[in-house]
Chain A
Amino acid sequence: MGLLSDPQCRRALARLVVRLNTPLCALSYAAGLAWFLALAAPPLAPRTQMSENAMGSTMVEENFQLGARALAYARQFGARKAAAGAMPVTWLEQTLWALGLEPHRQPFARTLPFPDEARERYMVRGTNVYGILRAPRAAGTEALVLSAPCSEGPRNDQAVGLLLALAEFFRGQIYWAKDIIFLVNEHDLLGMEAWLEAYHDVNVTAVRSSGPLGRAGAIQAAVALELSSDVVTSLDVAVEGLNGQLPNLDLLNLFHAFCQKNGLLCTIQGKLPRGDGDSLPAYGQSLRTLLLMALAQASGRPRGDHGLFLRYRVEALTLRGVNSFRQHKYDMTAVGRTLEGMFRKLNNLLERLHQSYFFYLLPSLSRFVSIGLYMPAFGFLLLVLILKALDLWMKLNKGDAGERLEDGGEDPRPGLLALVPPVLICHGAGLALYFVPVLAQRAAAQHFPVSEAEGVVLTAVAIYVAGMALPHSTHRALAGAGERGWMALKLLALLDLALLLGCLALLNFSLGFLLAALMVPGAAAVQPTGPRVLQAAVLVLATPAGAVLLGVLAQRELEEAPAAAGEGWPLFLGAVGEGLLQHHLYGAVLCPVLALGAYPAWLLLWNVLFWK
């Protein structure tokens, strides 16, 4: 307790915090950003290695030769799908039965909270079909899943074809110790969520599906496949799941190891690492990959069908076949052999994947940044808020002591009760932002010439902007707190923001970090005195909606498809709509966190700025 109790030390520390506050804050913020940017460089990003003993080597003999069969199945599936207009359920069931698996079907239905303009659906009805390959020698208490989506048009036909060919091949082998489920899900994420909920017998979202399904044991790992061409030039892997949850790093290491064994080109975020090593362009490429992953994780959107498995503690990946303009092409046999190798290794698992990291960032496929190395960056950002809060506290206390000596016997904190109205109003605005858009969509569509989806999004934007006008109408209620009441309010706002960002960084690091990087400078600098217009501009830049807009634009920029000048607004509206939809459909938390957490905190700071 020496640091906290020794009076000399305390006085020195207090003086340091009060006098050097602004330089320390600026230094800390710069250090946080610099640390994050340095994560892409080799010293902070060690090479990945396989931690699970059972999956140690890639020593299996892959015998998969059915590439041509895969393409044949793909053609048949495509033809049947075009003829039926939806998933050819009966044909799939018959094919799976002919291959020797146990076919099952699962019909499901869901009414979306508001029509989804991007995919043009409102009431969704579909069927998932899956076949279970029972383990020939073991009890089948565990299972592995290989899934392919049934998409509109000719997309992903080859994925289903490869799935069926692999099923045929796997059925002939005797070494399987776990059951393997071959799943074809309709309506991508909706179907996957319906299947997972029915399989695990839970009711997390409001999907209505049929009764108990044929089961195969606890799922240990899952691979989701997306292939839309007969030949591929590379395989792209997607790891980010719902709410930024990530699978165990070992699964990624497994994929990387097998791609290297079979000579397959593999990428992450669509980017290939430059082979230059330590040079600047290589660092730039790593940084771009890292930022793309951070943006993807922050959005909380699952980047593939695998994203929904993670919630049920099943490690999962999505593999996408990419057919670009490279010279060397790989056919279905090569992809099939890689998958066969991965599944044989997963077959060896004795327990769930837990040896490797669950929290990491990937600057490239062969390097990773663990939580111990990336948290200090966030710690520095949080330090800014803490320093500012300490500074305000000491100013408030010094002021109190001064006042007391003059008046004698006055209540030390007159404004505590007077701070309650602003806090209540800001959180009320947050609640309105969360509840009203979806509840009032009918009213919006009736009174304004917009469709329901547009109505929801525009209502959200309207409530957001209306909240910014609050200080002008509520300053009368705030008048009771006195001259220095804004300090107490700002203290509360800073603590609220720090608490929110801290909890967020633990659950979804990228979201916490990016929100912190954007909101901390504005939060620390705002005060009612000084140039109001400049501070208002800074604070508007720091708003959570601004974070969404910047994130969307940055993602397009990093994917090397920069958005044109006029595209920003529709992209932003699309992102807001998608976020709301995903919250109601799958339980994504970005929308509630921003509406109920970040927005009230920001509104409190906005109130501080316009303090009279």
Chain B
Amino acid sequence: VVEGLALLDLGVSPYSGAVFHETPLTIYLFHFLVEYAELVFVITDVLTAVALYLAIQDFNKVVFKKQKLLIELDKYAPDVAELIRTPMEMHYIPLKVALFYLLNPYTVMSCVAKSTCAINNTVIAFFILATIKGSAFLSAVFLALATYQSLYPLTLFAPALLYLLQRQFIPVKLKSKNFWLYTMQYASLYLCSLVVIICLSFFLLNSWDFIPSVYGFILSVPDLTPNIGLFWYFFAEMFEHFSLFFVCVFQINVFFYTIPLAIKLKEHPMFFMFVQIAIISIFKSYPTVGDVALYMAFLPVWSHLYRFLRNIFILSCVLIVCSFLFPVLWHLWIYAGSANSNFYYAITLTFNVGQILLISDYFYAFLRREYYLTHGLHLTRQDGTEAMLVLK
């Protein structure tokens, strides 16, 4: 950002160097705030925490209402009393979410490093707040801003749409006219805001330079500086001939899970949102620990799933150990010169595998709880022996 500002001050397009890949709105924001950079990042983190707090507070109310409705409609099996959530237990969850975000070492590291990921997180947090409050317009605007900044929040369109449909009591049926009407409205709000923001950027800098520099950069991954993601090592060792194919495969991987998850988690759009954010932060082309901090902040919301989680101990150990080994192996590779990139990539792989297993563990626990709620806690087979739920 500093280089971009310097180039801008010289009157040259900030994208003419190969280092600056932020959007024009960001550069104009920092044009005025670069002296107070530390304060800006602290404030963005606080704003994110506050947005998450308010969002989860509202969300808990919605969850509780829905649960009450389902109990009255007798949709739950008779012996699931211990799975029902009480307001007492849900009282402190918003505070825990805000604290999880603020006190997470990853967030602190992001803030100290002054990574622009903090701004991404704030926009996504506001988007979630707007969605939960039910305001389609604000939700579309914030989603457009988030997509504008880094392409991947595009996939959050689906969970937001599902949530707003649920809120308006419009059933998700492909033949229903109401469904398509609402979808079109939301999509047009989103696309119009996106177009407005992009045109605004054009007028700020008087050129379309930023599109290849920002979006082309995210999609084609030219810069292979090592990070905690999966892309850099693959593309560093790949022949030029195949790199286009593999770039396409890797990028499709991020967007690919949206449809299956939308079909499975139709009734639970917030969980879908959480899983989608996690998938973005694992599979995006340039992930940072700030992205990891954002989806980890949501974990207290699903703390009632704790009894169904199966590998939480091993997974948390793996994630903590990998976080400590990252700087050790980086030091060995870059400063001591005794190791090489394979050592560092091994830790990157382990970290990402750990994250994937964490998300799938939560997914399984969520589905299992839903199954138990409708079918009762003590499952029996036809012949009366005890059955067990297995994910095939």
Contacts and interface: CB of A to CB of B under 8 A. Distances in A.
B310 A393 contact: no
A5 B310 contact: yes
A352 B357 CA distance: 41
A1 interface: yes
A4 interface: yes
A7 B391 CA distance: 10
Given A1-B360, A4-B311, A502-B321, A359 B338 contact: yes
Interface string A1-43: 1001111001000000000000000000000000000000000
Interface in B329-380: 329, 331-332, 336-339, 357, 360, 364
Contact of A4 (B324, B332, B338, B357): B357
Contacts of A4: 310-311, 314, 357
Contacts of A139: none
A310 B338 CA distance: 10
B320 A507 contact: no
Given A7-B390, A393-B313, A245 B324 contact: no
B39 interface: no
Contacts of B332: 506-507
A6 B329 CA distance: 34
Which of B336, B360, B364, B390 has the most CB atoms of chain A within a 10 A radius of its CB?
B336
B391 A5 contact: yes
A159 B328 CA distance: 38
Contact of A507 (B311, B317, B328): B328
A495 interface: yes
B310 A313 contact: no
22 contacts: A4-B310, A5-B364, A5-B390, A7-B388, A10-B310, A245-B336, A245-B338, A310-B336, A311-B336, A313-B336, A352-B337, A358-B337, A358-B339, A389-B317, A495-B317, A495-B320, A499-B320, A502-B324, A506-B328, A506-B332, A507-B331, A507-B332
Nearest to A313: B337
A429 B224 CA distance: 43
A503 B329 CA distance: 9
A390 B357 CA distance: 18
Interface in A369-410: 389-390, 393, 408-409
Interface string B212-229: 000000000000000000
A310 B335 CA distance: 10
A64 to B, nearest CB: 32
B54 interface: no
A50 B338 CA distance: 18
Contacts of A502: 321, 324-325
Interface in B288-323: 306, 310-311, 313-314, 317, 320-321
A4 B336 CA distance: 37
A4 B353 CA distance: 13
Interface in A471-504: 495, 499, 502-503
Interface string B173-211: 000000000000000000000000000000000000000
A506 B329 contact: yes
A153 interface: no
Given A4-B357, A507-B332, A358 B324 contact: no
Chain A, interface size category, equals: 20 to 34
Nearest to B325: A503
Interface in B20-56: none
A412 B317 contact: no
A240 to B, nearest CB: 13
Contacts of A358: 337-339
Contacts of A507: 328, 331-332
Given A245-B336, A358-B339, A412-B306, A503 B357 contact: no
Contacts of A1: 357, 360
Chain B, interface size category, equals: 20 to 34
A502 B324 CA distance: 10
Contacts of B360: 1
Interface in B259-313: 306, 310-311, 313
Which of B320, B328, B338, B388 has the most CB atoms of chain A within a 10 A radius of its CB?
B338
B90 to A, nearest CB: 13
Interface in A308-323: 310-311, 313
A541 B357 CA distance: 40
Given A6-B390, A495-B317, A506 B306 contact: no
Contacts of A393: 313
A93 to B, nearest CB: 34
A31 to B, nearest CB: 22
A218 to B, nearest CB: 13
Nearest to A411: B89
A313 B337 CA distance: 6
A394 to B, nearest CB: 9
Contacts of A412: 306
A393 B309 CA distance: 14
B5 to A, nearest CB: 29
A499 B321 contact: yes
A543 B331 CA distance: 28
Nearest to B392: A5
A409 B390 CA distance: 26
Given A5-B364, A5-B390, A358-B339, 11 more contacts: A1-B357, A1-B360, A4-B314, A10-B310, A311-B336, A313-B336, A389-B317, A390-B313, A499-B320, A499-B321, A503-B325
A245 B391 CA distance: 48
A313 B310 CA distance: 45
Which of B306, B314, B337, B391 has the most CB atoms of chain A within a 10 A radius of its CB?
B337
A503 B360 CA distance: 28
B324 A499 contact: yes
A7 B390 CA distance: 7
A70 B320 CA distance: 58
Contacts of B324: 499, 502-503
Contacts of A310: 336
Contacts of B331: 507
Given A5-B391, A7-B390, A245-B338, A503 B310 contact: no
Contacts of B364: 5
Nearest to B316: A495
Nearest to A7: B388
Interface in A337-388: 352, 358-359
B152 to A, nearest CB: 25
For the complex of A and B, 7 pairs with smallest distance between CB atoms = A358-B338, A313-B337, A503-B328, A393-B313, A4-B311, A7-B388, A506-B328
Nearest to B347: A506
